[in-house]
Amino acid sequence: MLAKKVPVLNVMIDSVDMTQAVDILEDYIEEKKTHLIATANAEMIMMANEDPELLAILNKADLVVPDGAGTVWAARYHGHSMPERVAGYDLVQNLCKRVAGKGTKIFFLGAAPGVAEKAKKYAEKKYLGINVVGVKDGYFSVEQEPDLIQTIKSVKPDVLLVALGVPRQEKWIVKYLNELDVPVAIGVGGTFDVMAGVVKRAPVWMQKAKLEWLYRGMLQPKRIGRLMALPRFVLKVCSLKKH
């Protein structure tokens, strides 16, 4: 299944809803060859416009889902169809739910020591039959990478979830994807933090009111500076001709 890609500030985003996105991931797992998946919110798109390496990675990625109300709004503002928001966290939950009990092997890489382990426990409780074959925190040195690669290769995951923050996680995946030979590698940002209960997701009413970005900024004051990416994103989108 091939989704239509539409441009949002130079980044090609797949026009997919959640069910289609998970269907595509299942196809990738079947296909066996490697695939890079990114979840593009306004902040990532702004970053890509200032980081040619990240932009090239996103535009070569197999699947880039519309993560965030801003991405969906911008695509529609320019006259493209974009069915719904596909948040990275929700994509991971839906994928876990879909593959639980099917033997699909998942590896959790990233977040602070102990967090991926807690996220694994959460997944095992919530998605009965899920097969998490390995976990490793995201605080390793370049010197430790060869061992880490061997560890991942030895368990042959079908899905590798990488939470090292944007853009490090996308660049890390591209660097090692062929060697790892993983059918599905997804950059998942703060997903393990939320699954582990270390960071709370915005209440549903705020998510529906498209205010999750504000909640995250309030909860993690170190993100306040990063929040400025959103108004800059809106201004940039509006400065382009509306369709």
Residues engaged in binding ligand UDP (CB under 6 A): 110-112, 138-139, 163-166, 189-190, 192-193
Smallest distance from the beta carbon of 173 to ligand UDP, in angstroms? 13
- Our CB check for ligand UDP shows the closer of 23 and 94 to be 94
Question: Among residues 199, 220, 191, which one has the least CA distance to residue 116?
Answer: 191
Question: Among residues 145, 164, 153, 173, which one has the least CA distance to residue 57?
Answer: 173
- Our CB check for ligand UDP shows the closer of 96 and 135 to be 135
Smallest distance from the beta carbon of 168 to ligand UDP, in angstroms? 6
Q: Where are the beta strands (DSSP E) in 129-219?
A: 131-136, 159-163, 184-187
Smallest distance from the beta carbon of 213 to ligand UDP, in angstroms? 10
Nearest residue to ligand UDP, using CB?
A: 138
- Our CB check for ligand UDP shows the closer of 161 and 182 to be 161
Smallest distance from the beta carbon of 187 to ligand UDP, in angstroms? 7
- Our CB check for ligand UDP shows the closer of 29 and 72 to be 72
Q: Which one-letter amino acid corresponds to residue 90?
A: D
- Our CB check for ligand UDP shows the closer of 134 and 165 to be 165
Smallest distance from the beta carbon of 193 to ligand UDP, in angstroms? 5
Question: Among residues 1, 78, 124, which one has the least CA distance to residue 116?
Answer: 124
| 231: three-class secondary structure by DSSP | helix
Distance CA 69, CA 167 (A): 20
DSSP structure string for 177-193: HHHHT-SEEEE-TTHHH
